[in-house]
């Protein structure tokens, strides 16, 4: 048996419950993982919020798409992107459904080797945000000599965007609350506070212009400032403001985009190697016991500390 967090109705975090479920032995190509830490993402609470419709036939909804842990059983021929999987392997599980659990049955293709230099928490919260970040940089073709404006640079995705853009040779101007500016400077970014007057503050920092804008927050301010500063709309991308992207003619990634999914999947081992090499740092904002999943979801929807939220079974 395993304890699992599920949404038993549509609504707010109050609909979340911990239930017991049976765990099957892995079939061919599958593995069973004893979960050590679980990544929490905004899509998790959106699934039961009604944001995607009110079809109650989908209930109960299992939550979560990423975790880290130890392989405890292996089905015949189970192989991941890095090769055959064995009992005892320390792994990252990504791109699955239902990772809010103590034990998780997963296809081998969803299992990556965990770098030994990452904690369980860092490993659990790493691949999804790093893949999203990679996607934004690929579609906007960020490279040497670019000046990149990153909106929401202290968030889970934004902080990785900053690091990856710097690694590609770009100059990075990063919007965030003042409390997070020192951390962004440590990544090599030039921080600027968002809010009224943002456009003028960015112009003062970069009078020669901005070549790329990456929006990780989806606010009208982020979109409007990006459109005002970047002449080539193909070099503006959002991971959240999908309606504005459609209306104003700039790029978006994620949100069911199959090309995005392909890019992110193809980059998984490259991103794991970067984390192993220490060139990507995964900031963790806070951890919660699995029993406090509702609290984690409430806090994630408010202004919170820099980095990822993690559940511990």
Percent of the chain beyond pLDDT 90? Answer: 92
Whether residue 185 has pLDDT greater than 90: yes
Residues of the chain with CATH 3.40.50.720: 129-260
Q: Chain-centre distance of CA 257, in angstroms?
A: 15
238-284 tens-digit pLDDT = 999 999 999 999 999 998 899 999 999 999 999 999 999 999 988 89
Question: Cβ of 24: how many Cβ atoms within 10 Å?
Answer: 11
Average pLDDT over residues 125-134: 95
Element (H, E) at 71: strand 66-74
Question: Is-contact 136 253, C-beta < 8 A?
Answer: yes
Q: Could you give the maximum distance between any two Cα atoms of the chain, in Å?
A: 61
Q: Which of 98, 110, 120, 105 is nearest to 19 (CA)?
A: 98
**Chain segment 101-113, per-residue pLDDT in tens:** 999 999 999 999 9
Given the candidates 3.30.1490.110, 3.40.50.1820, 3.40.190.10, 3.40.50.720, the CATH classification of the domain at 129-260 is 3.40.50.720
pLDDT in tens, 1-38: 999 999 999 999 999 999 999 999 999 999 999 999 99
Domain with residues 2-126+282-312, CATH architecture: Alpha-Beta Complex (3.90)
Provide the whole-model pTM.
0.93
In this prediction, residue 69 carries a pLDDT of 98
CA–CA distance, 159 with 130 (Å, rounded to integer): 9
């Amino acid at each position: 048996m395993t304890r699992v967090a599920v949404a038993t109705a549509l609504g707010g975090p109050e609909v979340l419950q911990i239930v017991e479920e049976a765990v099957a032995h892995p079939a061919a190509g599958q593995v069973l993982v004893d979960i050590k830490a679980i990544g929490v993402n905004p899509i998790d609470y959106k699934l039961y919020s009604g944001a995607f419709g009110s079809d109650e036939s989908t209930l109960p909804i299992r939550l979560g798409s990423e975790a880290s842990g130890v392989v405890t059983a292996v089905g015949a021929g189970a192989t991941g992107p890095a090769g055959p999987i064995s009992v005892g392997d320390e792994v990252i599980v990504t791109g699955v459904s239902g990772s809010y659990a103590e034990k998780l049955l997963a296809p081998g293709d969803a299992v990556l080797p965990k770098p030994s230099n990452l904690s369980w928490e860092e490993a659990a919260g790493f691949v999804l945000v790093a893949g999203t970040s990679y996607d934004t940089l690929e579609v906007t073709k960020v490279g040497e000599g670019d000046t990149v404006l990153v909106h929401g640079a202290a968030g889970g995705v934004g902080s990785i965007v900053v690091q990856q853009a710097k690694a590609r040779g770009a100059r990075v101007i990063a919007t965030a609350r003042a409390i997070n500016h020192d951390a962004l400077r440590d990544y090599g970014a030039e921080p600027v506070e968002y809010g009224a007057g943002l456009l003028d503050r960015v112009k003062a920092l970069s009078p020669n212009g901005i070549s790329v804008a990456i929006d990780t927050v989806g606010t009208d301010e982020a979109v409007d400032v990006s459109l005002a500063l970047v002449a080539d709309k193909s070099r503006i991308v959002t991971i959240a403001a999908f309606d504005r992207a459609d209306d104003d003619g700039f790029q978006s990634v994620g949100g069911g985009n199959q090309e995005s999914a392909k890019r992110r999947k193809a980059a998984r081992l490259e991103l794991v190697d970067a984390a192993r090499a220490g060139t990507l740092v995964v900031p963790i904002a806070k951890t919660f016991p699995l029993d406090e999943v509702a609290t984690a979801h409430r806090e994630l929807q408010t202004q919170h500390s820099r980095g990822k939220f993690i559940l511990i079974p």
